[in-house]
Amino acid sequence: MSNKTALLKELYANISTTGAISFSSKRLVKKMLSYANFKEAKVIVEMGGGDGSISRGIVERMVPGTELFIFEVNKFFCDNLNEEFSQSNIHVICDSAANVSNYLQGRKADLIFSSLPFSLIEKEEKDAIYQHSLDALSSNGAMIQICYSYLLRFEFRKFFKHMTIHFTLTNFPPVFVMICKK
């Protein structure tokens, strides 16, 4: 079985935690990452590393000296990400994104990218992720979230003062890209 086949099998076997019917398309990754300023980013967080499609796009755009923290709860995906990203400045963390502050050691994230399926996450865990993401974000930082439901904007607005939302057809199914700031 090819690695891509194994990743897809894991995706479908755990749809209740992955929340996706397919991995992010290259066009979606390009669109999502186009809203970020990588030149100024020294600490980047990705929430929901999955198959690494967004991670690869981030790594391609990172400037030297930048650190990337990839959070993923699925052990199979974590092992795959660790195998693919063995650079010393990339940290694959097999833990909930709600624990982001535990790993940044007081530093702030300039960018947070998320493909977490918030519609499927329990309210208490979801609120913890929102709050800890906000706390971990630098004053000029941005959290960029892809989601399938426009209704999630109401939840994000409880935590983030500034938001812009874009709709894109460059993925199946089509998604919203939310750019959230303090």
pLDDT band at 68 (very low <50, low <70, confident <90, very high): very high
Element (H, E) at 153: helix 152-157
pLDDT at 130: 95
pLDDT at 5 over 60: no
pLDDT band at 19 (very low <50, low <70, confident <90, very high): very low
Give the domain CATH number at 93: 3.40.50.150
pLDDT at 149: 86
pLDDT at 12 over 50: no
Q: What are the tens digits of pLDDT across the range 73-100?
A: 999 889 999 999 999 999 999 999 999 9
pLDDT at 27: 87
Nearest partner of 57 among 146, 135, 172, judged by Cα: 146
pLDDT at 147 over 80: yes
Which residue matches tokens 């930082």? 141
- Using an 8 Å Cβ cutoff, are 69 and 88 in contact? no
- Using an 8 Å Cβ cutoff, are 111 and 142 in contact? yes
Q: How many folded domains does the chain comprise?
A: 1
The residue segments making up the domain with residue 155 are: 3-181
- Using an 8 Å Cβ cutoff, are 96 and 71 in contact? yes
Q: What are the tens digits of pLDDT across the range 105-135?
A: 999 999 999 999 888 888 999 999 999 999 9
pLDDT at 8: 42
Q: What angle do CA 17, 22, 28 make, to 5 degrees?
A: 110
Predicted TM-score (pTM) of this structure: 0.86
Nearest partner of 95 among 45, 139, 131, 150, judged by Cα: 45
Angle of the 53-61 helix axis to the 26-33 helix axis, nearest 10? 50
